[in-house]
Amino acid sequence: MRKTISLTVNRREYELEVNTSETLLQVLRRRLNLTGTKLGCGEGECGACTIIMNGEAVDSCIILAVEADGAEIETIEGQTVDEELSPVQKAFVESGAIQCGFCTPGMVMSTEALLRRKPDPDEDDIEDALAGNLCRCTGYYRVKDAVRAAAEMKRGEE
């Protein structure tokens, strides 16, 4: 069965005919060619597919595209503006929080959602926000450093 949906992705509007069993991740990667959002576990456990939907960090692999009808979506591609990295992306690079890079887009999106909600997060806030993002490379210390650095950068911009 197919259905037409409308979405806004990275400030651009789309109207798409989707299969009702198609996930939002599949639509982002296959239809919109936004391949920065990664397919990891496909079960909502690893966070590689994290995007921001209607202001909240969500796992796009477990959301059906039809459930996102009318949604405002941001992917990792939407974080870079005019080829300039966002403060969160800069902090991840400068803190050495990027190893193989597979989990990085999801971590960045989770961090962005956290900092919008709580500009000055404490350690518990950071751990809660990153709890759904798995990384086999970093050990999370540098990732937490990156979140703190990004929070400082973003507060400095305001």
Which CATH number belongs to the domain containing residue 111 in this structure? Answer: 1.10.150.120
Average pLDDT over residues 8-15: 98
Say if residue 72 is in the same domain as residue 17. Answer: yes
Say if residue 10 is in the same domain as residue 69. Answer: yes
Say if residue 21 is in the same domain as residue 60. Answer: yes
Say if residue 95 is in the same domain as residue 35. Answer: no
User: How does residue 156 score in pLDDT terms, banded at 50, 70 and 90?
Assistant: confident
Which pLDDT value is given to residue 25? 98
Burial string for 19-50 (b: 16+ CB within 10 Å, else e) reads eeebbbbbbbbeebebebbbebeeebebbbbb
DSSP 71: -
Tokens of 151: 């929070």
pLDDT, averaged across the chain: 95
Say if residue 100 is in the same domain as residue 65. Answer: no
> pLDDT tens-digit profile of 48-94?
999 999 999 999 999 999 999 999 999 999 999 889 999 999 999 99
Is 44 a residue whose pLDDT tops 90?
Answer: yes
Residue at which a domain ends, from 79, 108, 127: 79
Say if residue 59 is in the same domain as residue 92. Answer: no
Say if residue 38 is in the same domain as residue 92. Answer: no
Which pLDDT value is given to residue 99? 85
Which pLDDT value is given to residue 81? 86
Give the total number of structural domains in the chain: 2
Which CATH number fits the domain that encloses residue 51? 3.10.20.30
Say if residue 75 is in the same domain as residue 96. Answer: no
Say if residue 53 is in the same domain as residue 97. Answer: no
Say if residue 101 is in the same domain as residue 121. Answer: yes
Q: What percent of the chain has pLDDT over 90?
A: 89
Residue at which a domain ends, from 79, 95, 128: 79
Say if residue 20 is in the same domain as residue 75. Answer: yes
Instruction: Using alpha carbons, select from 75, 60, 54, 68 the residue that is nearest to residue 20.
Output: 68
Average pLDDT over residues 10-38: 98
Which pLDDT value is given to residue 136? 86
Is 155 a residue whose pLDDT tops 70?
Answer: yes
Q: What percent of the chain has pLDDT over 70?
A: 99
Residue at which a domain ends, from 47, 79, 111: 79
Distance CA 146, CA 51 (A): 18
Average pLDDT over residues 22-50: 97
Is 158 a residue whose pLDDT tops 70?
Answer: no
Say if residue 69 is in the same domain as residue 117. Answer: no
Domain that holds residue 105: 87-157
